[in-house]
Amino acid sequence: MKPRNLTRYMEFLLLGLSEEAELQPLIFGIFLSMYLITVLGNLLIILAISSDSHLNTPMYFFLSNLSFTDICFTSITVLKMLQNIQTQTKAIAYEGCITEMSLFILFVVLDDLLLAVMAYDCYVAICHPLHFTIIMNPHLCVLLVLISWIISALHSLIESVMALCLAFCTNLKIPHVFCELKQMVQLACTDAFLNILVMSFATGLLDGGPLAGILYSYTKIVSSIHRISSTQGKYEAFFTCTSHLMVVSLFYRKGIGVYLSSAVPHSSHTSAIASVKYTVVTPMLNPFIYSLSNKDIKRALRSLGQKQ
């Protein structure tokens, strides 16, 4: 079929997790609850860090940025799904789909880069403690976050512009809860080889690069901890990065699950479920991980509660 340029009038259909009408109220209730928990938990982390002067350190500066990213990350994917369930429609306009896709790419890459930056912070704190304040100065911390934003925005812009060049025919059903780049490329009527090439290269670079940095940082951290003579010193050094290590493990475990499920033929439903775990469950659990395993955050949260 010859592709037609009908982008002004085009709508995509987000099929969601289930098309059974009786399950929609249950799905709506579950995801609304998870979304509210995610937003409230991450907002509390941000408020606790900003209200406690003792948390004016690079680690908590990066954590507050990660929490903000997680709020945006989840809002992009969940709010439209909740709206569609509430209004009993699956449609999303072409412009809305492109916007949702570009924002999703922006914040998922930003999340990835921030985790790598936090790993570098842990590396400097444990491997170069005497030079920590000199190396991780406020200017460098702001610069690292700014660079992460720029890289994420540029990647999102490139992928979005390339997606805008695609032409679509009549099959506009996306077996997902949000507009995902890979799903849109698969629906294109025109040759999407260049899109797939760029997407694959960017995935390898922007996923593999930060992961390699994280693994390298933790290799050096483990080596430094091993050289510490006292058991107490080893415990304190390891405890410094426990929360971050748990979040990284959760993030990449879910991310690899999404990649593997999407690589299996005829697994659209499985891929959608894996993506939901990746985009909703992980940001929801991050505040619990940091608040339950970090005594400074717990103290700040108690202090915040007393001020109220």
pLDDT tens digit sequence for 34-77:
999 999 999 999 999 999 888 899 999 999 999 999 999 899 98
Domain contains 4: no
* 1 domain-assigned: no
Task: Return the structure tokens found at 236.
Answer: 């304190």
Question: Which residue range forms the structural domain that includes residue 218?
Answer: 11-307
Contact between 11 and 93 under an 8 Å Cβ cutoff? The reply is yes
On average, the pLDDT of the chain sits at 86
Q: Is residue 3 part of a domain?
A: no
Give CA–CA dist 254/159, Å, rounded. Answer: 23
Position 158 pLDDT exceeds 90: yes
Q: The domain that contains 201 carries what CATH number? A: 1.20.1070.10
Whether residue 143 lies inside any domain: the answer is yes
pTM of the model: 0.90
For residue 115, what are its two tokens?
């985790």
What's the rounded mean pLDDT across residues 283-302?
83
Res 191: pLDDT = 85
How many domains is the chain partitioned into structurally?
1
Model confidence over 123-142: pLDDT tens digits? 999 999 999 999 999 999 99
Per the model's pLDDT, the better-predicted residue between 268 and 74 turns out to be 74
* Other CB atoms within 10 A of residue 44 CB: 18
266 has a pLDDT exceeding 70: no
Q: Which residues contact 201 (CB under 8 A, 6 or more apart)?
A: none
